[in-house]
Structure 1
C-alpha cells in the first residue's frame, strides 16, 4: 500500500473513532515509519542480525529497532492527539458562533459528529443524527448560515456540504505526519501530502 493509501486508512480510523464505531483504533504508526523511512529500514536491517542472538551486535540491533519503533509509536500518538484536540476546539468555537443550542437537538448532535463526518448530505446527516430528513436539513442550514458548513455540488442535482475547518485539520494532520520533526514550519513533509486549503490550522 502506498503512502496515500496508508494516510487514508489512518484518517478512516480517526473518523470511526470520532463516530464511536471503533473506540480501539491503532495510531498511525505506519505513517511515521514511512516518514522516517531511512531510519526504519536501517533499524530493520540491524534487527535482522545473522549470528548469535546473544552477541553484542545482535543485542544492539534489537535495542535500536525497539527504540525506533517505540519512538514512532510515541510520535504517532502525539500527532493523532493533536488532531483530537483540534477537533474538540472546533466544536467549542462552533458553539460560540451559534450561540444558544438546545441540548440533544439536531444541531447539537450534528456539532458532535461533524469532526468525524466532514462531508455529508441531508440524507447522511439524518442517518448520523437518527432523525428524519427535515430536522437534519434544518440543522445543516443553521450550520451553513453560521459558516461552519458550505455547500458543494455532487453532479447536477445532488447537494453535499463540507466542513472546511475539519478538512483543514485533517490536512494539517497528514502534513504533520509527513514531517520528520512533526512540525512543517521547521521540517517540510518528505512525502506527497495535500496542500493547505487556505485555512490556518497550526
Structure 2
C-alpha cells in the first residue's frame, strides 16, 4: 500500500534554530488499511493469544497476586527503556520503605509507573473515557516524584522538542510545535473514542500508540505513557478485564526495529509493516505472560507440597508462603502485618524456609532489618 508521508511540515524554532516540525494526519489512515492475507492471519493469532491471556484472570486461584507482580515487572522494563537502573527487587524494597540498591530517584520513577497504570484503570472503570483529563491525570501520577517532578507533570509541553541529533535542524524527527498539540490530541482522542466510526480495539491500540509517540505531547514520559496507552485502550474496549498486556520487553528486545517502524509510518505511510510488528509483539508478549502465570502457579503448588516436611509450623508456613507469593521481597515486619502471625513465628518460619527447604534467601547478611527473597518466584518473573 503506497500512501507517502502521513502528515505535513510547519516551520518552528527549537534550540535557537529553525526546523521543520511534523504535523500528523488524523487517524484512521487513508486509504484504509490493507488487512488481508499475512496481516489478517497474524492479527487473528494475536487475538487468540490475547484471549488466552485474559482467561488467566479467571483461571488462576489468586489472579490479583499475579497481577500485582506482573504490573511491577512491566514498570521496571518500561522504565529501563528510559534509562533507570531499578530492578524488580529494588522496586519492592522501595515500596516497603527499604533501601534499594540503586539511586532512590530510579525506584521512585518505577513506583510512579505502577501508580499511573492503576489510576488509569481506575478512571476507566469509573466511566471516564480516554480523554485529555485521563491522559493528563495519568501523566501527573507518572511524574509525581523523582526526576519527573520538574518536567511538567500533567501539562502539555510549551516548547519545541526534537528527537535524535544535537540540533533541531538535523534531528531525526521533530514533533508538532506546542501551539498545535491541543488540535493533534483532540483528533487522537476522537479516534480512540470511535468518533466518527469504530475501529477494531487491537488495531486502534496499535495506531494510537504511533500517533501518541508522534505527537509527543509532554516534556518527558511520552515513551512510558505511550506504552501504558496500549493496555488502557484494551481495558476500555472490554477486550481485557485486567491490564495484563505489556509490550516493553518486546519493544526493548527489538528496539531498532521498533523505532524504524514508527519512522516508516511517518515518512512512507507504512502502517501495515507497523501492524505486522505490533501484532507479533502482542502474540509473543501474551503467550509469555500466560506461560509465566502457569509457571508461577505450578511453583506455588510444588512449594506448598514441601511445607508438610516442616511439621508443627507447616500451617504458619503456608500463611507466610501465601504472603510471599504476593510480595516476593519481604521483611519479618511486612510478613507479620500480612499474616497476623507473631514476629517470632514469622522468623522461625523464614529460617525453616531458608535452611531446610531452600525456598527463600536472606539478602542483606545482617542480623537486623533482614530482607527475604522468594528466589524462584523472582527468577521466573525476571526470565526476560
TM-score by shorter chain over 0.5: yes
Deviation at 1:7, TM superposition (A): 7.9
Match of 2:245 among 27, 32, 52: 27
Superposed CA RMSD: 3.4
User: 1:69 aligned to 2:69?
Assistant: no
1:157-190 Cα offsets, whole Å, 9 max, x none, are 2222222212322332x3xxxxxxxxxxxxxxxx
User: 1:93 aligned to 2:311?
Assistant: no
Distance 2:272 2:340 in 1: 51
Equivalent position of 2:328 in the other structure:
118
1:92-118 Cα offsets, whole Å, 9 max, x none, are 22122222799x943223323323322
Distance 1:48 1:30 in 2: 22
Show the 5 A alignment for 1:146-185: 146-153=357-364, 155=366, 157-172=368-383, 174=384
SS class of match (1:2): helix
Contact 1:6 1:30 in 2 (8 A): no
Distance 1:70 1:33 in 2: 12
Distance 2:327 2:252 in 1: 26
SS class of match (2:274): helix
Show the 5 A alignment for 1:49-68: 49=267, 58=269, 61-68=270-277
Instruction: From the superposition, tell whether residues 165 and 27 of structure 1 become closer, same or farther in structure 2 (CA, over 3 Å).
Output: same
Number of aligned residue pairs: give it.
155
Match of 2:257 among 39, 56, 74: 39
Equivalent position of 1:82 in the other structure:
291
SS class of match (2:364): strand
Equivalent position of 1:107 in the other structure:
317
Distance 2:283 2:85 in 1: 18
SS class of match (1:153): coil
Distance 1:140 1:156 in 2: 14
Contact 1:123 1:133 in 2 (8 A): yes
Deviation at 1:125, TM superposition (A): 0.7
Deviation at 1:85, TM superposition (A): 1.7
- The structure with more radius of gyration: 2
SS class of match (2:359): coil
Contact 2:317 2:349 in 1 (8 A): yes
Distance 1:133 1:95 in 2: 21
SS class of match (1:64): helix
Unaligned runs of 5+ in 1: 17-21, 50-56, 175-202
Distance 1:70 1:6 in 2: 29
Contact 1:106 1:135 in 2 (8 A): yes
Unaligned runs of 5+ in 2: 1-78, 93-109, 115-120, 122-240
Q: TM-score, normalised by structure 2?
A: 0.35
1:136-165 Cα offsets, whole Å, 9 max, x none, are 334323423322122333655222222221
Instruction: From the superposition, tell whether residues 82 and 64 of structure 1 become closer, same or farther in structure 2 (CA, over 3 Å).
Output: same
Contact 1:150 1:162 in 2 (8 A): yes
